[in-house]
Every structure is written in structure tokens, then in C-alpha cells.
């Protein structure tokens, strides 16, 4: 019995010894990758976006078709940076579908899935400015939208 326990312990130590260097190799976890502009991964021209459908975390939605408002959102999106991530976020403040011709791209406030990859929005001024705009647009039409939530998060 001791021999089996010793073999199991040795096997576990060998697995750990092999895993530690593998985890330290490269640039670390994907969430620590260098940020890139969202426009670099979107695959559409934000200037040509025709409409935007926003779905808020409470389930309510808003469709934006006014060209000035669409471009105001597009301008904020151009400043957003993301990094590839393995995180599978739970919950969201909002997500929006960007429509350009027959192409649609979904962008979330924290996570965006594109072409089988997940991108995490960098926590910076550009992301907060976009969140503030999207909340403001929603609250213009739905004053009770997400009470207690600010562009910086709950509270």
C-alpha cells in the first residue's frame, strides 16, 4: 500500500514539475497580452456601420439608427483597446450588435467574441467613456435603466 502511495506521489510531483515551466513560458496568461485596438480585430469599417442594436444587462434593448449617434458610438469604439483572453465573463452591462451591410459584429462592455476568440476590454478611460455613452443613451429613453449602475460599475 505504501508503495502505491509513493508512486502516486511521485507521479503527481512529476506532473507538477512539468506544468510549472510550461505555465511560465511565453508571455504568461492570455489576459496579460498586450492590448490592441478593437478596430484591429473587428473586421469591419466602423465608419460604414449603419445601425447599432444595444441590449442592456436587464434585458431591455435600444436600436440606434441616427447617423450622428451611430458615428458617436463608432468614434468611442475606435479608442477602445482589447486583449485576447481565455476568460468567459458572466453578466454584462450591455452588448451591442454593429450592422454593416450583411455583416454583424457583437461587442460587449467587458468581453467580445469574434471568430472563435474572446477579447477582454482593457480597463481604461476609453472603455469607461464608451460605457458612459451607452448608459446615457439608454437612460435618455429609459430613465430607470440599471439603477445603481455607473459607467465605472455598480454603485
Instruction: Give me the residue spans of the domains in the chain.
Output: 33-154
Right CATH number for 33-154 from 3.30.1490, 1.10.3470, 1.20.5, 3.30.310?
3.30.1490
Nearest to 44 by CA among 102, 94, 85, 83: 102
User: Using CA atoms, how far apart are residues 61 and 55, in angstroms rounded to an integer?
Assistant: 4
Eight-state DSSP code of residue 46: G
**What is the per-residue pLDDT for 153?**
57
Query: 10-residue block means of pLDDT along the chain (155 residues)?
Result: 43 38 39 84 94 97 97 97 84 94 94 92 91 96 93 57
Amino acid at each position: 500500500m505504501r508503495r502505491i502511495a509513493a508512486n502516486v506521489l511521485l507521479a503527481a510531483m512529476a506532473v507538477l514539475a512539468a506544468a510549472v515551466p510550461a505555465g511560465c513560458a511565453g508571455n504568461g496568461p492570455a489576459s496579460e497580452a498586450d492590448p490592441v485596438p478593437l478596430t484591429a480585430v473587428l473586421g469591419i469599417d466602423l465608419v460604414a456601420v449603419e445601425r447599432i442594436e444595444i441590449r442592456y444587462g436587464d434585458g431591455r434593448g435600444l436600436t440606434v439608427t441616427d447617423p450622428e449617434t451611430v458615428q458617436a458610438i463608432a468614434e468611442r469604439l475606435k479608442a477602445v483597446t482589447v486583449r485576447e483572453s481565455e476568460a468567459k465573463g458572466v453578466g454584462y452591462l450591455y452588448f451591442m450588435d454593429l450592422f454593416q451591410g450583411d455583416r454583424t459584429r457583437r461587442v460587449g462592455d467587458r468581453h467580445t467574441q469574434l471568430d472563435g476568440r474572446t477579447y477582454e476590454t482593457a480597463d481604461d478611460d476609453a472603455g469607461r467613456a464608451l460605457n458612459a455613452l451607452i448608459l446615457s443613451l439608454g437612460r435618455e429613453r429609459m430613465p430607470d435603466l440599471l439603477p445603481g449602475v455607473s459607467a465605472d460599475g455598480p454603485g
